[in-house]
Structure 1
Amino acid sequence: MQRTSEFSMETGDVISKVDDDGRPKRTGTTVTASAHIITAVIGSGVLSLAWATAQLGWIAGPLCLVLFSIITWFNSLLLADCYRSPTGARNPTYMDVVKANLGGAKYHFCGLAQYSNFVGTTIGYTITGSISMVAIKRSNCFNTKGHDSGCHISNNPFMIIYGVIQIILSQIPNFNKIAMLSIVASLMSFIYSSIGLGLSLAKIIEGRGEHIAKGLTGKSVGNDFTRMDKMWNSFSAVGDIAFAYAFSLVLIEIQDTLKSGPPENEVMKRASTIGISVSTMFYLLCGITGYAAFGDDSPGNLLTGFGFYEPFWLVDIANLCIAIHLIGAYQVFSQPLYKFVEDCCRKKWPNSKFINGEKSINLPWGGIFSFSLLRLVWRTSYVIMTTIISMMFPIFNDICGFLGALGFWPLTVYLPIEMHLVQAKVPRYSLHWICMRILSLFCLCISLLAAAGSLRGIVEATQTFKFMRSVS
């Protein structure tokens, strides 16, 4: 590919407009990469960690949070080192990295696991984002009619609103251009997590959670809660915690936004350390204080599940922040999928003006915008598809949990370890090799148990499932 450059009159230097691989110059930094990671990692799932802690108890709950943060951090460091091939060539996607290091069947296996998770995650975010929007309306209804009022509202109109917003944002050309969106989204996650944390602390300080049942081993067996329920809920809780850290499926795509200068792997390792450390801090605070406030009856989501009703305006702000965060997170997980399909189309039809044509439009409020018919048609169609599926199958969140369970081990643990062993030329059956295999086997067991728990959730959800009727 031919390089282009421009001459700087002030310095006399030739400034390249492209990077060492001929692609447009990347501008990402530690700050933007950390924002992408926090946007991908924290999610609204942080508010479900009180429930997860309630299932596991004071000891196992926090221990699992710390353990999986360390596992995720360690494997993210391994994966960051795989970004460049031994020849020094960049690999812009996770699939490219696997192809360069492992090739063959593992390359196709990676693609299947990664892109099915992208689709599942974006559908799940559509459902969850709409529930956060509905929660604002329900909060105002509870404030007017009282807490005992049902205030049940259809999620479908709000899924459509969410979809329309995503159609507009999906026209952002690539991952490099959503840095500001990720920064805003990560800021939103801090706000709503802090609100949930603050409300939990206020309840504890007031003593309202004083006589609530809580124990070292979590929710106690008894009444309508059997030992079997305890076992399945514990599996689901461990799975929720493990997948709360799963951002490996977009790690390489985030690393590919980093500008040349300091080695990309070093910058990515710093960003991963920052992102995971910040996320773990919020996870521990929200999980522990939420359980202390609500005990065994901790809701699945402190804010959309209405663990708190008052002050209603603060709950409204928190749910608005959740919705904004999920809007940004949708783009973080959909941009790699958009790029994959568009790159495939360009390779197959290199002479098509519809596919390869780009038109620059000067927007008075936003500078130069690159418009493409392919982006308009394909990305709009994708958003419409995810919105319709979300409306048709409101139990898809349970299905997403199942897909996440199946994708956690290969994408977060197995493939990074396999590539590390190949790159480092680790001798077979050495202590290093055995330790890596034990870690991989342990995470495989966790993934399978969590998948079983999610499958049980799907079976239970189908008993009350109503086609095209999603109601909060």
Structure 2
Amino acid sequence: MDQEFKQEILESGLVACNSAKGELDDDGKPRRTGSMWTASAHIITAIIGSGVLSLAWGMAQLGWIVGVGALLSFSCITYYTSGLLADCYRYPNPVTGKRNYTYRETVHSYLGEKMRKACGFVQFIFLSGSAVGYIITASISMMAIRESNCYHKEGHGASCKFSSNWYILGLGITEIFVSQIPNFHKLSWLSVIAATMSFAYASIGLGLAFAQVISGEGGRTTLTGVEVGMDLTTEDKIWRMFRAVGDMAFACAYSPILIEIQDTLRSSPPENKVMKKANAIAVLTSTTFYMMCGCLGYAAFGNNAPGNMLTGFGFYDPFWLIDLANLCIVVHLLGAYQVLSQPVFNTVESWASNRWPKSKFVSSEYPLNIGKKKLNFSANLLRLTWRTMFVVVTALLAMALPFFNDILALLGALAYWPMTVYFPVEMYIAQNKIKRRSIRWLGLELLNLACFLITMVVACSAIQGFNQGLQTYKPFKF
């Protein structure tokens, strides 16, 4: 026992020594180097994704009043609850407490084991589903590039229709290689590139929409959106409105990876303060883009706005600019896929390491060399097989269910209430010991209830949309 105690003292001394030298953080792990700007880049990469392309369609279903109100409401709720979540990164004190490395660990610290399992299940489904959605969106953009060049070369009357499945295969193969990046801390460069691409294609979409509006070729818009008539029943109108709300919720959701992003920040100044500033930058940036894309897109296309805004400008003129926008989408979503998938990868790998700590298959790293030159990279058999399997499954699901707006609505329903509202609110109540039935408690729980009810109706509308799509779609057709 004395020998073990001496060993602990020695190890603690080494950690303290290395921490003093700046090599390790206060928890004994390698020193984190993230800043407000890298965190903002991670968030923008995750938040400004495929959701921005559906906002014009969402505005068309809801109209000017409800559409703008819904988008602003989701953005404000996301900003408020992300601040609550940032304070819960450390337990029990937001500045000096013990670190929580993942969203699930944070929930476990404040709400217990049962809630941790529930959170893990929801987070796993949302992040995996988002990976599927990103492959679908990227493949649509790649197919749009081919169609655009086909029409430009063969003429407007040519038959330029292609299957997206070949592109899904190509994206899957690419993601298999990129997914071998060991952890989140190595992804800052990818997030910066991806965030830049998101600004690029959103700006191109905005520019094309603005040009169409000022040219006098904008579509007809109404305060209440698409009107009920011969082509649209009242029932379908209601279902589409709920799906549009789900699309907007998905566009604003990034809380499932907020703790993982916060864990990349350097410890001084306090992580929660830096994260709140990063949240403010990211939410303000994304909301500005969303409002411009949604409103200008709706003004450009009117009530006939397409599900994907960039496919509504045609493939003819200017074809090169639309090609560039779609290429930016592909690059962005390649990075966003990794940002959202890394927490899933790390969850399984951490579980395997704890379950089989002595297994070479799980823990051994094999350095890679090119000739006599050593690379700053190593291979791991678990990482190679598990991550490859994950990418293959998401690619197969993308081929089986390529329903863009319905996928986004369902993901919005699955993630927005539990991950963005329920868990942050309940952890904040537990952390601050807010008394039941107090004014503050009632306000927080009322927000919880309202978002839960919205989630239920959005999920039902998404399932109804899947049912309609599957009646006509033939999966795996090349």
TM-score, normalised to structure 2, is 0.92
Of 201, 211, 218, which residue of structure 1 is paired with 2:210?
201
Shift of 1:407: 2.5
Q: For the structure 1 residues 154 and 308, does the alpha-carbon distance in structure 2 shift closer, same or farther, using more than 3 Å as the test? A: closer
Q: For the structure 1 residues 366 and 424, does the alpha-carbon distance in structure 2 shift closer, same or farther, using more than 3 Å as the test? A: farther
The residue correspondences of 1:380-395 to structure 2 (distance < 5 A) are: 380-395=388-403
- The answer on whether the counterparts of 1:64 and 1:238 sit within 8 Å (CA) in structure 2 is yes
Of 197, 218, 227, which residue of structure 2 is paired with 1:188?
197
- The answer on whether the counterparts of 2:92 and 2:98 sit within 8 Å (CA) in structure 1 is yes
Of 154, 169, 172, which residue of structure 2 is paired with 1:163?
172
1:442 aligns with 2:453: no
- The answer on whether the counterparts of 1:38 and 1:279 sit within 8 Å (CA) in structure 2 is yes
Q: For the structure 1 residues 397 and 52, does the alpha-carbon distance in structure 2 shift closer, same or farther, using more than 3 Å as the test? A: closer
Task: Find the aligned partners of 1:157 and 1:32 in 2 and give their Cα distance.
Answer: 34
Task: Find the aligned partners of 2:47 and 2:405 in 1 and give their Cα distance.
Answer: 17
Q: For the structure 1 residues 146 and 297, does the alpha-carbon distance in structure 2 shift closer, same or farther, using more than 3 Å as the test? A: farther
Comparing 187-196 with 305-314, which one deviates more in the overlay? Answer: 305-314
SS of the residue 1:303 aligns to:
helix
TM-score, normalised to structure 1, is 0.93
The residue correspondences of 1:204-353 to structure 2 (distance < 5 A) are: 204-209=213-218, 212-307=219-314, 309-353=316-360
SS of the residue 2:91 aligns to:
coil
SS of the residue 1:370 aligns to:
strand
Unaligned runs of 5+ in 2: 1-7
- The answer on whether the counterparts of 1:139 and 1:316 sit within 8 Å (CA) in structure 2 is yes
Unaligned runs of 5+ in 1: none
Amino acid at match of 2:444: M
Shift of 1:46: 0.7
Task: Find the aligned partners of 1:347 and 1:243 in 2 and give their Cα distance.
Answer: 33
Percent of residue pairs bearing the same amino acid type: 51
Aligned to 1:372: 380
Q: For the structure 1 residues 355 and 81, does the alpha-carbon distance in structure 2 shift closer, same or farther, using more than 3 Å as the test? A: same
1:44 aligns with 2:50: yes
Aligned to 2:59: 53
Shift of 1:220: 1.6
- The answer on whether the counterparts of 1:299 and 1:307 sit within 8 Å (CA) in structure 2 is no
Of 58, 68, 76, which residue of structure 1 is paired with 2:74?
68
Task: Find the aligned partners of 1:119 and 1:365 in 2 and give their Cα distance.
Answer: 37
Amino acid at match of 1:375: R
Structure in which a larger fraction of residues adopt helix: 2
Which deviations, in whole Å up to 9, do the C-alpha atoms of 1:352-409 show, x marking residues without a partner? 1221112344679996113322212221222122222322443487356324312321
Amino acid at match of 2:78: T
Amino acid at match of 1:445: L
Task: Find the aligned partners of 1:366 and 1:205 in 2 and give their Cα distance.
Answer: 57
Q: For the structure 1 residues 463 and 132, does the alpha-carbon distance in structure 2 shift closer, same or farther, using more than 3 Å as the test? A: same
Task: Find the aligned partners of 1:76 and 1:365 in 2 and give their Cα distance.
Answer: 45
Aligned to 2:4: none
Of 444, 450, 462, which residue of structure 2 is paired with 1:454?
462
- The answer on whether the counterparts of 1:243 and 1:408 sit within 8 Å (CA) in structure 2 is yes
